[in-house]
Amino acid sequence: MSCILVTGYAGFIGHHVCRELLTLGHRVVGVDNFNDAYNPKLKYARCLELGKHPNISNFTGVTKDINDHDMASVFSEHQPSIVIHLAARAGVRPSLEQPQEYIRSNISGTMNILELCRQYKIQHLLYASSSSVYGDSESPVLSVDDYASHPVSIYAATKRTNELMAHTYAELYDLPCTGLRFFTVYGPWGRPDMAPMKFALAAMQGRTIDIYNNGQHERDFTYIDDIVSGILLAMDNPPSRAPANQLDVLTPAVGKGPFRVYNIGAGSPVSLLDFINTLGEQLGCPINGNHLPKQPGDVERTLADITPMMKDFGYRPKTTIGTGLKNLVEWLKERNIADMGL
């Protein structure tokens, strides 16, 4: 049975990816350093939940930082054939306050993963990018064929750098690399620093929420199950090197080497105010907001062009914002949020 290595397995997306991989019968090795970017209690709670999976015997968890020199021991012992690299410092605003930590984790850490993938001849590296790389694009639809050369946060800059690094490794070493630009992921087990979870918790606890840009932001909110579906579809379809007689097909998202970049989103933007109103309906209580101006690094609007994912892999997001928020609220009400550090 081949092995799949998932970095950041105790994170929001990593947790759901590992669960689905185990359900499909894969052997999975997860790596996480359980840092304190947000309360680690939530990460440990995800691990406890993962431990209930009927195929948990196929899972091995390793506590390690992706920057550690002995990350090589994980590759050498488990011999993964595929790496899903999700470990990162995430979030726009914290990256402006802790830029060096984002450089260390997202750039130096990813370089370590790339180099190990090269050394151990990994068959396919998939890595998390972000819709933040587009910056404040004037285009109404964000396409992977855009050059994405004007990020407006350190976080976005690190993710764009990851894409360029992966392109180089694909070109120089024939390492198949697929970058996945995620668009505002939400759902059960979500990050507490992101608006969906933050707003839901505040409303349940009777607190007022901060609404930046007076709620005029638009986001392509994407439910976690649709994100996982996109990751696994891409995982099963590694890119190949472009034939020498077809180099005219090259774009910012398609390399001469085995390199591709895709958006994974819902393909339909929702205004922050509409999102808040729908969340309030699901909670059955009003959400009190403190309206504030736009914050540095925030992007006005995100809308993913998911046509390449649909064309290449048959990707079809299925979860509406109403259903997704209903699932999130039900999950929150079923759990002791204090035990998860929320």
Q: What is the pLDDT of residues 96-140, one digit of tens each?
A: 999 999 999 999 999 999 999 999 999 999 999 999 999 988 788
Structure tokens at 10: 């105790």
Query: How many residues are there in the chain?
Result: 342
- Domains identified in the chain and CATH numbers: 3-340 (3.40.50.720)
Predicted structure pTM score: 0.95
DSSP class of 98: -
pLDDT classification of 2: cutoffs 50, 70, 90: confident
Q: Tell me the pLDDT tens digit for each residue of 32-54.
A: 999 999 999 999 999 999 999 99
Q: For the chain, how long is the longest CA-to-CA vector?
A: 63
CA distance 235 to 17: 11
Residue 172 and residue 170: Cα distance in Å, rounded?
A: 6
Q: Which residues are catalytic?
A: 155
What is the C-alpha to C-alpha distance for residues 155 and 244, in angstroms, rounded to an integer? 35
> Which single residue is written with the structure tokens 């984002």?
102
| Closest to 195 in 3D by CA, of 129, 96, 271, 306 | 271
Ranges 6-10, 169-173, 190-194, 285-289: which has the least confidence: 285-289
Burial of residue 118 (number of CB atoms within 10 Å: 0-12, 13-18, 19+): middle
Q: Which amino acid is at 86?
A: L
Confirm if 15 and 50 have CB atoms less than 8 A apart: yes
Report the percent of the chain where pLDDT is more than 70. 99
Residue predicted with more confidence, 203 or 20: 20
pLDDT value for 216: 79
Residue 33, H or E segment: none
Place of tokens 């048959």: 314
Neighbouring-strand partners of residue 94: none
Q: What is the pLDDT of residues 175-193, one digit of tens each?
A: 999 999 999 999 999 999 9
What type of residue sits at position 283?
L
User: Scanning the structure block, which residue is given the tokens 């992966």?
Assistant: 166
* pLDDT at position 337: 82
pLDDT for residue 203: 86
Give me the pLDDT at residue 214, please.
76
Residue type, 45: A
Q: What is the pLDDT of residue 179?
A: 98
How does the average pLDDT of the chain come out, rounded?
A: 93
What tokens does 291 get?
């309206």
Please give the angle made by the CA atoms of 287, 291 and 292, to the nearest 5 degrees.
140
Tell me how many degrees the CA angle 313-315-320 measures, rounded to the nearest 5.
175
Mark 253-285 as b/e (b = at least 16 C-beta within 10 Å).
Answer: bebbbbbbbbbbbbbebbebbebbebbbebbee
* Phi (first) and psi of residue 306, to 5 degrees: -100, 15
pLDDT for res 247:
66
Instruction: Name the DSSP class of 181.
Output: E
- For the stretch 77-98, pLDDT in tens is 999 999 999 999 999 989 999 9
Q: Mention every residue, 6+ apart, whose C-beta is less than 8 A from residue 234.
A: 126, 178, 180, 262, 309, 313
Whether pLDDT at 209 is above 90: no
